[in-house]
Each structure stands twice: as structure tokens, then as C-alpha cells.
Amino acid sequence: MSETHQTLLDLLAVEPLEVDLFRGSGQGGETSTRIFGGQVIGQALAAAYGTVPDRLCHSLHAYFIRPGDPEIPVIYQVDRARDGGSFTTRRVVAIQHGKQILNMSASFHNPEDGWEHHHPMPDVEGPENIKDRTELRAEHVDKLPEKHREDFLRPRPIDVREIAPRDFLEPEPADDRNHLWFRMKEAAGCTPQMQHCLLAYASDMNLLGSSLRPHGLTWFKGEVMSASLDHAMWFHGIPQFQDWHLYTMDSPWAGGGRGFNRGAIYDRAGTLIASTAQEGLVRPIKPRT
């Protein structure tokens, strides 16, 4: 296992400090300037799982309150809101510098029999012949200012392959619907709880970008200020994230400096494993005069 992949697994294995109190590292993840939102969600879910030994999460709802500081740990305080006969509810508050950076509610459920249906997986190109994001970034790195190149090429733990990727710097307006394949082969052998945490981490990738696509925007052009505001996720099954999963996303609406985005995650067999929704800040940056 590479150092990068082990780092992610270590990031999501939060450290118990006291009853209902956990600590997670702020280092690593997708970015170096602030903590990646998916990292805080994954750690918060891991902290909640630290108090729920016998049930699996079926939904979580999180609000991002402040940017995370990667230079210090994150403290997670878990409130045992309810332990019911079928459902367990937890509230998790992530804290840095004495202030909340995220709060999240998560619900856990005993498996039950019931009626089943799901929308079919879109018919798209498989991942085998698609360039991964490391290759794509290497092809475009020379277009970036020197100060951004090292972070742009920094190794990342999730293998991501976008279907019909856009230009990093000069994208044309495109349909809000977009698809990518992702996996982490080193997830093989992880517990169902860790599989959920890994998928929660990865579910924040590219989702907010759906609301930029119709407007030909990208984070690299300095025209938009963006940040995730909230994130919801529903688990319909247990992922096997060592295998390819298709993340299909769209953005039905944007306005008022915000963009709304939805996602569906399928395994390679076409089974719907999870659904996501997220609203984010997409505020125009006014040019200096």
C-alpha cells in the first residue's frame, strides 16, 4: 500500500480521546491550503461510528460552518441523540480553535426486508480507457502559475477518471450533467464502516463543480469564489470501494450566489449504492478596479 493511500485510511481512523470525544488529523487529503470537506465528513462519520457498534449509517446531513485549518487536529464531539429499537441517531460537532467548523447529524439502521427498486445506471463509457486525473493534470500543469504547480500534481489517494473532462483553465460551457469513475484499490478488506467513510470522503469530489459547468467556469481562472455549504448523503448499500464506482452528477439550479447539485453512486454492476445532494457558494469575484 502506498503512503498516500495509507494516509487516507489513517485520516479516517479517528482517535478516541474520552467518552464521545475523538480527534482527527487535519493534514493530508485533497488540498493543502484548507481541509477538504469530504475529509471532515468522513472523520465525523467515523467518530459517530465510534459510538454505534452494531448498526450501519443510512443517511447523514452536514453543514460546513468555517474553513478547516490543516495545521491542527480536528476535535469531534458526539451527542448520542437517540438509541431506538430500529434507528440510532447521532449529532457530531467538529471543532477547531474553539469554534465549530462542521456539524452533522447521522442516522443508523438495522437491516430490514422490504420492497426494492432503483433508477438504472446511465449507459456511459467504462473506466479502462479513460485517462486518470494524474495524467490529465500533468498535461495541463505548464499552464498554471509556478506557485500552484506542486500542489496541483501532489499525489492523491482516490483514482478518479472523468468521462468527457473539461479544460482546467478555459472550459467551454457544458451540460450540468457529468460522470466520473472512482475507486481506491487499497480499500480491499476494509470494514463496512470504513467503506462508508471512504465513500463519504469521495462523495465531495467534483460535485460542486456541476453548477459551474453551464457557465464555462473553473476554480483556476479566479472568476468564482466557491465553497461547500452543506452536504447530504444516503447510503443504500455497502460499497466495495476497491472496485470502480460511477458517480453521476447534475446541477438543476444555480442562483443568488449558490449552486445546487445532486449525485448518484453506482457500483460496477449497476446497483445504486448511495445518493448525494449539496449546495455550495458560487459567488462571482469582481475584478479589482
Q: What is the pLDDT of residues 130-184, one digit of tens each?
A: 999 889 888 878 877 777 787 777 888 999 999 989 888 889 999 999 999 999 9
Across the range 41-60, mean pLDDT stands at 97
Residue length of the chain: 289
Q: Residues 86-135: pLDDT tens digits?
A: 999 999 999 999 999 999 999 999 989 999 999 999 999 999 999 998 89
pLDDT at 16 over 60: yes
pLDDT reported for residue 236: 98
Residue 29 has pLDDT above 70, yes or no: no
pLDDT (tens digit per residue) in 262-285? 999 999 999 999 999 999 999 998
Helix 3-12 / helix 192-202 crossing angle, nearest 10 deg: 110
Q: Is the full-model pTM beyond 0.75? A: yes
C-alpha 147: how far from chain center: 26
Residue 165 CA, distance from chain mean position: 18
The rounded mean pLDDT for the chain is: 93
All residues at 6 or more sequence positions from 287 whose CB lies less than 8 Å from its CB, including other chains: none
Residue 265's DSSP bridge partners are: 247, 274
Rounded Cα distance between 215 and 230, Å, is 22
Amino acid at 288: R
Residues with a known catalytic role: 204, 228, 278
CA–CA separation, 262 and 280 (whole Å): 11
Domains of the chain with bracketed CATH: 3-111+126-284 (2.40.160.210)
**Average confidence (pLDDT) over 55-61:** 98
Give residue 289's pLDDT.
Answer: 59
- pLDDT above 80: residue 287: no
Closest Cα to residue 129, out of 156, 155, 164, 154?
A: 164
Closest C-alpha among 201, 275, 203 to residue 236: 275
Copy the grid coordinates of residue 170: 478555459
Q: Are 224 and 284 in contact (CB under 8 A)?
A: yes
Strands of the 21-24 sheet, one edge to the other: 15-18, 21-24, 74-83, 87-96, 99-109, 56-64, 224-235, 272-284, 258-267, 245-255, 178-183, 159-163
Answer whether 256's CB lies under 8 Å from 280's CB.
Answer: no
What pLDDT score was predicted for residue 286? 79
Residue 189 has what pLDDT?
A: 96
Instruction: Please tell me the predicted confidence (pLDDT) of residue 52.
Output: 98
Whole-angstrom Cα distance, residue 194 to residue 5? 13
Q: Which residues lie closer than 8 Å to 269 by C-beta, 6 or more apart?
A: none
Say how far apart CA 280 and CA 64 lie, in whole Å: 10
pLDDT of 68 higher than 80: yes
SS3 content of the chain, % helix, strand, coil (to 5): 20, 35, 40
Give the amino acid at 274. A
Give the whole-number percent of the chain exceeding pLDDT 90.
79
**32 vs 178: CA distance, rounded Å:** 26
Indicate if the pLDDT at residue 1 is higher than 60.
Answer: no
Instruction: Give 4's pLDDT tier (boundaries 50, 70, 90).
Output: confident
How high is the pLDDT of residue 139?
Answer: 86
Is residue 25 a contact partner of residue 33, using CB atoms and an 8 Å limit? Answer: no
Q: Which residue has the higher pLDDT, 234 or 220?
A: 234
For residue 141, the model assigns a pLDDT of 83
> What is the per-residue pLDDT for 3?
58
